[in-house]
Structure 1
């Protein structure tokens, strides 16, 4: 790879993160322990959630949330096809059936108006996604959930910094919210996730499920506290987060607001730089909300000189990496073949999925790199 190639989704890892990992290694407590407990507490403080459970990925957080609610075979969970595979895969892992509802073409979030029609006697939960960090219409979704006695589990993988009508992501009203700290996310632990909830009983259940179903974790069993026995109270999973990962997260979390401001700047420069091009840029942010600015996605319009793949190839030749968020799930062989989904059922997701791509959007980008990306996009667009 050329040294001047701008990689999509490259994280910021600096001396503070490296020193934090080194310090943790020196303690020789590498698994789930004091750093992870501290990380959970700091995430609770930042998000407004009363209880936080650090886990190995957002996929694990979603699966735990569903399992802690007892969702399983014979149940249905309503979600969106405009998301990463993990959202629906976590439903399948429980034995339940994901039921897709189309997204809105402007927000790319699930369309609340379609949820009511998708509810059946088998429906147990709604699993909305805060796409790219844009708050989903939680009040409308919660109203449907209340009317039908459903739980709401928020896929907030993109939404650490999101605010919805003034409420932080741990206060938006879902039974749980699930965060991601994957390497491309706004803050990273390399791999990792978090369950947020304000339900004490649910938090206890999710924590036990997250580590083999044990009644006591390794830190409480092996640290310098009083010796403890443990019991297996349920056949749980191996979903715990390590102290090595948490030590990175603690440093990154301190920079979250600063980095969001930088992404705000880049977002505004992209909006100005792409004005007049045959591209649909992200919709304006809704009043009284805050966009977490995780992804800057554009849609190639039909009057562009090349299609979406041609755009990506042209940018790659100019040294600019891109991503696709997303190829909608109903088009993937597993979901298409098993559930019989078609493009006609999800016209907005199908339209978006054929035309969308994401540009590099890290606070790591320099002003010169942002200018270069804008110039490359304009060149491929024939401007």
Structure 2
């Protein structure tokens, strides 16, 4: 939890006093209404910049019609989890007459801050943040204190009460590692993200719990931090094997990175799962489309997306933001990456194409031929 204290916020009256104009003039400049002389407008804008003033979004909504567009910030749309959750968010919002404008960003805090500021300045009704809040906590806290509706997904931040949290990351990680141990693996690595978000911390806890339960030692050097994309998984696996040639299994924090891991192992003639078994996290469409198919942990993406939109719409209706907890348990979906040669259930694309079926989470399980 972040305990940053917010500095005193400047008010419209502060801007008026500094610029030497009336509060009504400042209001006209901020809301782009009425006629204001160019010189006066310039003085007001300079005062706004000097004071770091931000208009209260609730007050502005009384002057301007409330937007029917919701903002969504995600870290990387290439990750299987984000497209599936985003589709649910878009469908849920559309059912209530809202459109969704999505911004994809890297893990860079400055880029996320810029994206968030743009969504606020463009007067979106509210924003769902489905990425780490590290590095721009005060921006979110300030916006929430001014009445701007924000829902965080899998993050916790003082002053931003609307949070959607799934407790299954820890349980799912433990389930993944327990499975690897059950097939005889002992040198099990964990591929996490560079900034170790709350989600990755939960996964690391589950990883360590499974090792401890099996009386296996925890080796910090087997925890490798890598970028969230395919290349991140590829490079992380190369680095890991340079330092630990005896690794016989790998728990990967996301499906997309696991695909990079599979690519590296295939190019270097390392058999999966014979020499190294893999279990990933997310149960995205790509997990069943690669060879070997991935063993992976299923996440209740649909329910998470629905609750995020419902929470934001409730705030737009005047309700206070509150935390929501998703209690659905994770599920291990077995694939060839940990149990080759068995009669395994797998998730296949729907007849309509490669996307998820209507509920966004499940597909028919059929045996491999």
- Max Rg structure: 2
TM exceeds 0.5? no
If asked which structure has higher relative contact order (CA below 8 Å, sep 6+), I would say: 1
TM-score calculated relative to the size of structure 2: 0.32
